[in-house]
Chain A
Amino acid sequence: MRFAVDTGGTFTDLVIEDSKGKLHIFKSPTTPNNPVKGILSAFDKASEYFSISTFDLLSKGEFLLHGTTRATNAIVTSGTAKTAFLTTLGHPDILVLREGGRTDPFNFSVPFPQPYIPRSLTFEVTERISAQGKIITPLSKNSLQKVISFIKKKEIESIAVCLLWSTVNPIHEKRIGKILDIELPKIPFTLSHELNPVLREYRRASSTCIDASLKPLMTEYILNLQDNLKERGFQGRMLMLTSKGGVMDYKEIAEAPIHTVGSGPAMAPIAGRYFAKIDSKSSTAIIADTGGTTYDVSLVRNGEIPMTPETWLGEKYQGNILGFSSVDVKSIGAGGGSIAWVDEGGLLHVGPKSAGANPGPACYGKGGIFPTVTDACLILGYIDADYFLGGKMKLDFSKARKSINEHICKPLKIKLNEGAKAILHLATENMVSAIEEITVHQGIDPRNSVLIGGGGAAGLNSVAIARRLGCKELIIPETGSVLSATGAIMSELHADFRALFFTSSNNFDFKGAQRTLKKLKIKAEKFIKGTAESHLDYKIEFWVEARYKSQVWEIDLPITKNLLKTKQSVEKFRKDFDKSHENIFAFSDPNSPIEFIGWRSTVNCKIRSRPIGKIKEHKFSKSHISKQRKAFFDKKGLLQVQVIKLEDIMKNHTVKGPAIIESPFTTIVLDIGSKAIRTNRASLKINF
């Protein structure tokens, strides 16, 4: 058996692929204070379903693939550790100055961003290394001791160390690491040359600080989860999802938790690409994943999942740079739990604040008083109070009504249904503009793509969104409510190793290049042996980042067969480089020497042999489902409409709107004029 667990802001999704390849979905509310609890309770639900003990269920697992928004949420909500930043004397403002840059030269309403670590927690250490790796100023233990005593006083929880040129000569960073181990054994730290050995001090410092600030929270969480699972019978391999859309061993992630930032949403396009192809024969798709807290949008363009080399948490030049490339995902604070509110000027807003899972929407009856999108959908008749999550959670209609009346209808002087409709309408508009940002704003016409609706709340307004954007069609995959976890189950094991080594085509250092490649090969092989032994097949590839002399940005090119061992192979590489440069930038410069800088090895291990299976039908009592319900539709008002169970819709069968389709995990509202057809792959394909 394989498990994929995706801990979102509101729900924890568990997908189990059984030994026959069938999929099973379980959902449980996320428990933000102790997310392990939410995961275990999802497994309890599964064991109940399979009628075996949780121990027996867990012990059958060979893999557990886990993604979590914990790191992302911690950054967004400023819930990261109090972190000190140690840097070279004379350069305390690396995080303040960043690399400059601005997107909107005439807009003076946007304030200059705050540094990731405040100036008051930034400390200079006396030391300096030159670009050639020579020690110009030796590390002063004295200055370090002063910093350490400050750190002790200020109750610092984590430390980031990024010194100039530590990538060329890490001696001072290593030394500081050793001293910190001795002097502050309980405080975790990150050294920049170990985490992300790239040129450009701001990028490296930003990676290092983000990573360090996540360590206390994430390391404890990951190790705790592993212990808990092991205790409860799990003997398989725990792998964590990464922002690159791959997975890594949990131990490595515990050492470098930055890789989990944005990891959940990075998986959705992997699943999205699969369904777009199989259900719609389309290679261009917009993947929208509606969680309880965030709305994540990503793209598949000509079958490729676009990666971004510059990942910013927040807006470009205003947020913080991750320093690693990652899957391009746009996230906004909009979901089922998004809170609706009216400002002093009488303008209605939805989000970005979310009621989360706790207390959750007002209708959960867990103490939430503010109206959310979910409350609005309940009022509008889209959600069945008795059949939420397959009837596992009863919703309180009167609490939803009270909350919308009090917070929205009263100040706006409108009726209940109008208030609820306005909330959903505004949520739809917010989502549309998020999609426009990754399509229209990049010159991509959404009318040529198919929309993949994922996430538990997707069905409520995906038809409205697709219509508003003029998309070709909307696909709601059978596993759409757990799109990220589905993507995780499909993903490969991936690792990426990097080294800096400078040489030029003018005077190519064959020995140095071979030495560097060998080191990278050893790392890759170690990964395969140590962390990926249950693979079916693997592939190691080598890459080098090269450029024309005195350029500063490189092109990433694969190194082919004989690995630059001979003059001829260097010559061949040079020709490939010229060609590639011409393709990307419309010119080449065959007379210029080529410089080789960053070297990489990548490992991809295949861990699955068969295509992803279908969902095994769940056994729920049919009595809960009313065949008809009153629901609110635009222009027509309240209508008595058909309520159809998803599992009752046969292959190639069509349902016409207005109608509501329900499954234990999602509700799909079919507007007037739209029609849904069940595809061979059990998805719903909706046209309008």
Chain B
Amino acid sequence: MKIRNEKKINIKKFDPLTLAVLSKRFEAVTSKMANTLLRTGRSGVLNLARDFSTSIITNDCFLLTGAESLPIHHLSGADLMAKSLLEMHPKLKRGDAFLHNSPYHGCSHPADHTILVPVIDEKGKHHFTVWVKAHQADCGNGQPTTYMGHARDVYEEGALIFPPTKVQENFKDIEDIIRLCRMRIRVPEQWHGDYLAMIGAARIGEREIIEISKEYGWKTLHKFTDEWFNYSEKRMISAIKKLPTGSSQAKSTHDPVPGTPKNGIEVKVKVKIDSKNAMIDVDLKDNPDVMPCGLNLSEGCARTGAMIGIFNSIQDSVPTNAGSFRRIRVHIREGCVVGGGKHPVSMSVATTNLADRVTNPVQRAFSKIKDGIGLAECGAIFPASMGVVSGLDPRNNNEPFVNHLFLMVTGGAAAAKTDSWLTILHAGNSGMCFVDSIELDELHFPILVKTRKLVSDSEGAGRTIGSPSGYCEYSPIGGGDIEVAYVSDGAFNPAKGTLGGLHGAASKNYLLKKNGQKEKLPACADIILKDGETIASYCTGGGGYGYPWDRPVEKVQKDVIEKWISRRRAKEIYGVVLNNKFEIDFIKTEKNRKKLSLKKH
């Protein structure tokens, strides 16, 4: 990764207020772009789940801001994509827009269509690039899912791949590209609507940045980016200096899917904190080569996976941009399963499954360096409660539909001092997506969500606890069938706890047949759900942090009262004894806790 070095600025220093105003102003631009996408997107994955990101990149290809973006989408990747754009299209004009989804040129994975718009002044000079990335409901894969976990290569995967491709000139669509997409992407109207929303969001960003330039002048804005990077680096230095020097290793294993070894993929990470020089190194090189499946990581996702683990583990909230990134080194190996594969390796599922298996051990390695930092592991995805559903809607003249559900996902890891964030979704998302509204899902797709609730006694026990599992059931409604596709990690390798914390719940998926039979479904499946049948899905939970018997008794008591855990679990796992009025028996509790801790040691 190229590092943007500190530039010597001879001009008078920015006053702190202008620095603050401009940083927020640029953040506000990305928020406004995000708002446009949320409000105008057509597919549920955009307008319900908010599975998209917006950011701004400098003209020398450094990430300036990605406020409110999904971490896995942009920390590393936005910069790589902007760079590949400049390489392939050195002459940019006002009114241009580019479509980019190539994981071979910096994009996360092919389902993440990205629109890049260069912000160009009246003299034709390029100043910034605005960047809008949105997970599509469909991207033309061989099967109706955007996650082809079992695809041997990009050809079997089938996605349309766009290295930076011009889609607008003079603010007008290049119809060839639009027609091409319409022929190969399912429910083309929906895709086109989302495309328009992305273009709209990017144009809003362009418009806003030009507005700011009118107020401050381009020169000031470029000075600002330098200052802002320097400031962010300083913040990162002070955050790292608060950590102890040390190193640690951790592993995390992805469940087997077709194309992986039979025990799945074990990912090893090495983390080194150099407090004195304020540097953090993560080494991912000692891992297997690419595999004939869709799990391989793109370069962007491999780097970002490690970076998320780092930012999750430092205590201060440091701005995430090219300035703070100067203090991070992620070591990857090209051709490695977690290093950025070469064409035609498939990276269909790069943003989630294996990327999480990079983030999780990184944050756990931090906790092993010192109790009080880092996190346990977050749960893995995608169970069927987050499947891609498709088919024809019998309620609506059999119109075709395809969409990625975000019905039930928890998975939050316990932090050193805080219980998990319940709706973390998965490590790379960090809770930024929304959970679907049942009413909106049922309105837009022919499904009936019979149940959606959290599961008692399924939390990742610990001093602080990981999220419990969530359960949901849904069926087709209206008489037709629906197709459901998912790639579920975490059935065999649930989220690990750390420093004595227990692991989180595993994922499980079932088919409930018309005759009442319950059939276990595989981890990775594409099934037809018939009228009268129901899919039942348990999502993964998150791991716990620290020994459960160190959890404050009042918290355990409250967990029981609020039905998160049973009295029995309180006693057996946490050592807290409650009577049937839920009052604490302190004497028995103390004894019991001592016994539990002795048994362990």
Taking Cβ atoms with an 8 Å cutoff, the residues of A that contact B are 90-93, 96-112, 118-120, 128, 130-132, 136, 164-165, 199-202, 436, 440-443, 445, 447, 470, 548-553, 581, 584-587, 589, 592
Contacts and interface: CB of A to CB of B under 8 A. Distances in A.
A586 B39 CA distance: 12
B453 interface: yes
B216 to A, nearest CB: 10
A200 B452 contact: no
A106 B443 contact: no
B368 to A, nearest CB: 17
B438 A548 contact: no
B200 A100 contact: no
Sort A-B residue pairs by CB-CB distance and give the 6 closest, nearest first.
A90-B451, A105-B430, A108-B415, A100-B435, A443-B25, A587-B200
Given A100-B433, A440-B24, A119 B439 contact: no
A96 B422 contact: yes
Contact of A548 (B193, B412, B470): B193
Nearest to B422: A112
A592 B195 CA distance: 13
7 contacts: A97-B423, A101-B50, A101-B423, A106-B312, A109-B415, A199-B443, A592-B189
A550 B50 CA distance: 15
A441 B477 CA distance: 46
A121 to B, nearest CB: 10
Contact of A202 (B38, B412, B422, B437): B437
A96 B454 contact: yes
A445 B36 CA distance: 23
B420 interface: yes
Q: Interface residue tally of chain B, by bracket?
A: 35 or more
Contacts of B274: none
B17 interface: yes
A653 B452 CA distance: 68
A435 to B, nearest CB: 12
Interface in B410-447: 412, 415-423, 425, 430-435, 437-440, 442-444
A443 B442 contact: no
B415 to A, nearest CB: 4
Nearest to A554: B39
Given A120-B563, A550-B193, A111 B42 contact: no
Interface in B187-203: 189-190, 193, 196-197, 199-201, 203
Nearest to A109: B418
B451 A585 contact: no
B361 interface: no
B383 to A, nearest CB: 16
Nearest to A92: B453
Nearest to A317: B431
A585 B204 CA distance: 7
A199 B437 contact: yes
A632 to B, nearest CB: 27
B317 interface: yes
A550 B442 CA distance: 13
Interface in B162-216: 189-190, 193, 196-197, 199-201, 203-204, 207
Contacts of A98: 423, 435
Contact of B438 (A91, A101, A549, A550): A91
B430 A99 contact: no
A111 B417 CA distance: 9
Contact of B442 (A110, A130, A436): A130
B557 interface: no
Contacts of B470: 97
Contacts of B40: 548, 551, 553, 581, 585, 587
B538 to A, nearest CB: 14
Nearest to A447: B17
Main secondary structure of the interface of A (DSSP, over half): loop
B200 A586 contact: yes
B71 interface: yes
A106 B433 contact: no
A587 B438 CA distance: 29
B190 A100 contact: no
* Secondary structure type dominating chain B contacts: mixed
B435 A97 contact: yes
Nearest to A106: B311
Contacts of A136: 448
A131 B438 CA distance: 10
Given A165-B439, A442-B24, A99 B434 contact: yes
B41 interface: yes
A441 B412 CA distance: 28
Contacts of B419: 111-112
B514 interface: no
Given A106-B312, A130-B448, A548-B193, A587 B203 contact: yes
Nearest to B29: A443
A93 B200 contact: no
Choose among A111, A132, A164 the residue with the greatest number of B CB atoms under 10 Å from its CB.
A111
A394 to B, nearest CB: 42
A101 B409 CA distance: 12
Nearest to A199: B439
A587 B199 contact: yes
Given A91-B451, A164-B439, A119 B562 contact: yes
Nearest to A468: B17
Contacts of A581: 40
Nearest to B420: A112
B21 interface: yes
A200 B438 CA distance: 7
A41 B418 CA distance: 48
Interface in B210-231: none
Contacts of B416: 108
Interface centre among A101, A108, A470, A551 (most CB of B within 10 A): A108
B200 A585 contact: yes
Contact of A586 (B21, B25, B207): B207
A131 B71 CA distance: 34
B439 A105 contact: no
Given A440-B20, A585-B39, A108 B193 contact: no
B595 interface: no
A130 B438 CA distance: 11
Contacts of B527: none
A553 B439 contact: no
Interface string B451-481: 1111000000000000000100100010000
Contact of A550 (B42, B204, B421): B42
Given A112-B421, A550-B42, A101 B434 contact: yes
B317 A106 contact: yes
B296 interface: no
A102 B36 contact: no
B204 A91 contact: no
Given A101-B431, A101-B432, A440-B24, 9 more contacts: A101-B50, A108-B375, A136-B448, A201-B438, A445-B21, A549-B193, A552-B48, A553-B40, A587-B203
Nearest to B38: A553
A200 B200 contact: no
Nearest to B429: A105
A118 B562 CA distance: 7
Nearest to B206: A586
B1 interface: no
Contacts of B20: 436, 440
A445 B21 CA distance: 7
A505 to B, nearest CB: 15
A579 to B, nearest CB: 14
A102 B39 contact: no
Residue from the set A120, A136, A443, A447 with the largest chain B CB neighbour count within 10 Å:
A443
A201 B71 CA distance: 28
A489 B43 CA distance: 47
Contacts of B200: 585-587
Contacts of B592: none
Nearest to A136: B448
Nearest to A592: B193
Contacts of A442: 24, 28
A443 B415 CA distance: 32
Contacts of A107: 317
